[in-house]
Amino acid sequence: MRCRLAELLTAQDLVVELGRDRLRAVDGVSLSIAAGETFGLVGESGCGKTTLARALLGLQGVAAGRITLAGATVTATGRAGRAAVQYVHQDPGAALDPWWRIGATLAEGLTIHGVTDRAEQQARIAEMLAAVGLDPALGARFPHELSGGQQRRIGIARILLLRPRLVILDEPTAGLDLSVQAAVLRLLAALRDRFGLTYLLISHDLGVVRRVCDRIAVMYLGRIVETGAAASLFAAPRHPYTRALLAAAPHLDGRESAAPPLSGDPPSLRAIPGGCRFHPRCPIAIPVCATTAPAVENVTAGHQVACHRWQEESPHA
């Protein structure tokens, strides 16, 4: 069998249920991340992005579906089967022990992964702090003695020390000033090239995703509604939700958008609408949308969408 080397991580029809009431935070998600690319996952707060990431990491069990890593099925292996996949926490402060000096936290990660020689630990930590643009002397500080941008860099250094292949970056620029955001994104691009990394970048900010991602998946209420190359998704979005997110995103190409703003709060996973989940907020919904969930269809080979009306001329073009 010819191996499709390009695929580093795939998910097929993944379902994740949370809590006693089995809230379906991920409901039939399929995606494929190619080695070396930066794959963006966008969607509003609460749509299931972090839950999906945790399932891909093996930190969260799945109710159904299959995950493969470098061609091997890892769905049932838990975290142990996925050392090559590491996660940069949505809240970098929370991922650092407030009572431990930075250097001790970094050394602990190496110890857990079998690097116990103290001199080797120190050398690798100093090298990695320099790689993320920090003075190795910062290793002597406590987390609260660092700025938000420095904490981000420490979070990145911590997981890169473990030499992962795929790094899941959960909201890597949230809470940072625009200039610090730009610096972090530049750093991530440089690290990707230097260490041959693949990224899954999670964000609710389409501006961030547009700047750095090769391909993008748009998530709504536990499902992926559109996937495509960043260029085609931004140039010709097919799903009304993608269009609405684009219309709402600041700092895009400066063109005025005629799309109406997205109305209402994102609906709750506890009361998922029937038919197309987006229909209560969709500006172009038709009766069938309330009763029948749209299938995922190919717009082109690399561009998929789930909407009954995707083939019609965009009413907002």
Contact footprint for Mg ion (CB under 5 A):
49-50
In terms of CB distance, is 41 or 225 closer to Mg ion?
41
How do beta strands 198-203 and 166-170 pair?
parallel
Could you tell me which stretch among 2-10, 35-43, 244-252, 277-285 binds ligand SF4 (CB under 6 A)?
Answer: 277-285
240 binds ligand SF4 (CB under 6 A): yes
Q: Is the dihedral of CA 160, 162, 168, 169 positive or negative?
A: negative
> What burial class does residue 112 get, using C-beta atoms within 10 Å of its C-beta: 0-12 exposed, 13-18 middle, 19+ buried?
exposed
46 binds ligand ATP (CB under 6 A): yes
Compute the distance between CA of residue 270 and CA of residue 279 in angstroms, rounded to an integer: 16
In terms of CB distance, is 47 or 276 closer to ligand ATP?
47
279 binds ligand SF4 (CB under 6 A): yes
47 binds ligand ATP (CB under 6 A): yes
Q: Helix or strand or coil: residue 246?
A: helix
Within 13 Å of residue 229, how many CA atoms lie on the same side as its CB? 7
289 binds ligand SF4 (CB under 6 A): yes
19 binds ligand ATP (CB under 6 A): yes
Site residues for ligand SF4, 40-99, by CB under 6 A, read none
Q: How far is the CB of 295 from ligand SF4 (least distance, A)?
A: 10
266 binds ligand ATP (CB under 6 A): no
308 binds ligand SF4 (CB under 6 A): yes
- In 3-state terms, the chain is what percent helix, strand and coil (to 5)? 35, 25, 45
How do beta strands 297-300 and 303-305 pair?
antiparallel
Compute the distance between CA of residue 233 and CA of residue 212 in angstroms, rounded to an integer: 14
Give, as one character, the DSSP assignment of residue 290.
Answer: G
294 binds ligand SF4 (CB under 6 A): yes
Q: Which does 272 bind (CB under 5 to 8 A by kind): ligand SF4, Mg ion, ligand ATP, none?
A: none
223 binds ligand SF4 (CB under 6 A): no
Q: Helix or strand or coil: residue 221?
A: coil
Compute the distance between CA of residue 244 and CA of residue 262 in angstroms, rounded to an integer: 6
Q: How far is the CB of 209 from ligand ATP (least distance, A)?
A: 13
> What burial class does residue 68 get, using C-beta atoms within 10 Å of its C-beta: 0-12 exposed, 13-18 middle, 19+ buried?
middle
Interface mask toward ligand ATP for 183-212; x: CB under 6 A: ---------------------x--------
In terms of CB distance, is 187 or 306 closer to ligand SF4?
306
Compute the distance between CA of residue 243 and CA of residue 316 in angstroms, rounded to an integer: 8
Q: How far is the CB of 148 from ligand ATP (least distance, A)?
A: 17
In terms of CB distance, is 38 or 50 closer to Mg ion?
50
Contact residue for ligand ATP among 25, 57, 107, 128 (CB under 6 A): 25
238 binds ligand SF4 (CB under 6 A): no
In terms of CB distance, is 134 or 305 closer to ligand SF4?
305
Q: Which does 307 bind (CB under 5 to 8 A by kind): ligand ATP, ligand SF4, Mg ion, none?
A: ligand SF4
* CA-wise closest residue to 245 among 288, 278, 201: 278
Q: How many helices (H) and strands (E) does the chain have?
A: 8, 12
Residue type for position 103:
G
The binding site for ligand ATP (CB under 6 A) comprises 18-19, 23, 25, 43, 45-51, 90, 204, 269
